[in-house]
Amino acid sequence: MHLHRLRLPLLTLGAALALAAPSPAAAPRDVLFIAVDDLNDWTGHLKGHPQARTPNIDRLVARGVTFTNAHCAAPACNPSRAALMSGLRPWQTGIYTNGDPAAPVLKDVTTINRYFLANGYNTLGGGKIYHGFPSEGRNDSWTQWVGLFPTGGKNVHNLNGLDRDHFDWGPLTISSAEMGDSKLTDWAIDQLHTAPADQPLFLAVGYVKPHLPWYVPQEYFDRFPLDEIQLPKVKPDDLSDIPAAGVAMAKPEGDHAAVVAAGQWKNAVQAYLATISFLDDQVGRLLDAVEASPRGREMIVFWWTDHGWHLGEKEHWRKFALWEDATHTSFGITVPGVSKIGGRCEASVDYTSIYPTLCEAAGLPVPSHVTGPSLMPLLKDPDATWEHPAVCTHGRGNHAAIDGRYRYIRYSDGSEELYDHQSDPNEWTNLAGEVGVSEIKQRLSSVMPAADTEVPSTSGEKKAKEKGSNKTPQTGSGQGKGKNKGKGQGKNAKKTQAN
């Protein structure tokens, strides 16, 4: 069933509280909710790059189940996070890209943090959870929201010589402690020590790195000597069998052409690996604090990266595409007593399953507007049968469906791509036009929305309203009741990156 915004059920706060009230015997469990910006599969546990060094991230996900075939709902910060936090897909909300405002929709949706706040949790948030604080369109969604922490030192620009705004990289002459994500980690550790023990904790920690620019202290660059850097595996004519709609997303004449012409490809890979290594150090500090905390033993931990990232594969950089490198994520869940320690799940999953899984793990009923399948069966048995292909959307009408073997892409103009990951893990050969693949394409296309059910983008909301064709979904007020009600952006907040 395809859901229009107009068909989404109304869930008032009173209804949310009644629905969510746990049984008297159920003790609320603390939640650590870790978000990471722009980290692809370049981790030790996913082996996306042979030189990736992430012992702490690997240690974190090994405490529970790692989902090795996990995908975002949209390959851009704004729509990915909006879908994850609301439980609604881009075609239900109109939040398809970074340019589509989320606030007109999310202000009336019971998001994850608002739902936990309404159910008595002390909801504390810092860093980047949404694509900027205003994304929820209200200021009563958290007990306390502290926003982004600034990085110290002098402002720098164009260290790589490309002069392409924040598409930049290079070492900083500051200490690790002066980095914004290091300060975020300090804050999160402090909350583990000082948050009231008599109230369940929902602690959301949103790491900004490895988002561009890739500026981290020199010590992290030193871990990856430039003359030893290995470039991603690429095929020289990889775009030759890609339809025009896909080539338009790749934009080979843009970032890739500039990087190659300037001889900066290895430098970029070095900088990305260095920035990931910096992130990994922060994750290690946070994990050490969790394991030392009285709350840590029974704490539910969700780890997720908002989408993947290309570094020259298919002559493409950044996210903003529907191929594996743009949609594949690092994702792990620990639910003590439920999840299998050291579990690895190869089932194709996407982030619309996070909301229902988190509710079930915490002992809360799932709100009626959240229809994604829960991952709890896979936490108990990573090899359990799973019949839900992952779906990723980039712009209205453009979708990818991924199962355990194939990726099928269908663009808004009807053009297609199909890849067999069993024989072609790098997605170098488009099989969409081959004989004998009709059943595969039909099966995977069945989980994509029909064109007439996809709501217009919110960036075209005014025009749509003038035609009387669109309204904002009403899925609950979720009025906060915390002491601070998440007012403002927090004393440390800065404007979140736009890309």
Separation between Cα atoms, residue 127 and residue 79, nearest integer Å: 18
Strand, coil or helix: what is 297? helix
Q: Is 131 a catalytic residue?
A: yes
One of 45, 49, 131, 256 is an active-site residue; which one?
Answer: 131
CA dihedral of 130, 378, 32, 196, whole degrees rounded to 10: 130
Strand runs (DSSP E) across 411-484, as ranges? 416-420
Q: How far is CA 140 from CA 20, 119, 143, 200, 427, in A?
A: 19, 14, 8, 18, 44
Q: Is 170 left (phi over 0), alpha (psi -120 to 50) or beta?
A: left
- Of 419, 319, 328, 282, the closest CA to residue 66 belongs to 328
Asked if omega into 449 is within 30° of 0 (cis), the reply is no
Residue 296 neighbours by CB under 8 Å, 6+ apart: 192, 289, 290
Q: How many CB atoms lie within 10 A of CB 357?
A: 23
Separation between Cα atoms, residue 308 and residue 276, nearest integer Å: 13
One of 49, 71, 77, 399 is an active-site residue; which one?
Answer: 77
Separation between Cα atoms, residue 484 and residue 290, nearest integer Å: 25
Q: Give, in degrees to the nearest 5, the angle at Cα 415 between 411 and 417.
A: 85
Q: How many CB atoms lie within 10 A of CB 313?
A: 26
Structure token pair of residue 15: 């209804």
Q: Is 77 a catalytic residue?
A: yes
Considering just the CA atoms, what is the radius of gyration of the chain in Å?
A: 22
462 membership: H or E segment, kind and range: helix 461-466
Q: How far is CA 282 from CA 39, 55, 276, 369, in A?
A: 14, 11, 10, 35
The residues pairing with 305 across neighbouring beta strands, listed in sequence order, are 36
Separation between Cα atoms, residue 287 and residue 289, nearest integer Å: 5
Separation between Cα atoms, residue 259 and residue 266, nearest integer Å: 9
Residues classed as catalytic: 77, 131
